[in-house]
Amino acid sequence: MEIHVLLGFMLCSTHATSAITHSLKYFYTGVTAGTDLPEYTLVGLVDDEQFEYYDSKIKKMIPKTEWIKENEEKITGTHRA
**DSSP result, the chain:** -HHHHHHHHHHHHPPP-------EEEEEEE--TTSSS-SEEEEEEETTEEEEEEETTTTEEEE-SHHHHHHHHHHHS----
* pTM of the predicted model as reported, rounded to 2 decimal places: 0.62
List all residues 6 or more positions away from 36 whose beta carbon is below 8 Å from its beta carbon: none
Q: What digits encode the pLDDT tens for the residues 11-63? A: 555 556 668 899 999 999 999 988 888 899 999 999 999 999 999 999 988 99
Q: What's the mean pLDDT in 58-78?
A: 83
| Angle (nearest 5°) at CA 60 between 35 and 45 | 90
Predicted pLDDT at 1? 47
Predicted pLDDT at 45? 94
Residue 74: is its pLDDT beyond 60?
yes
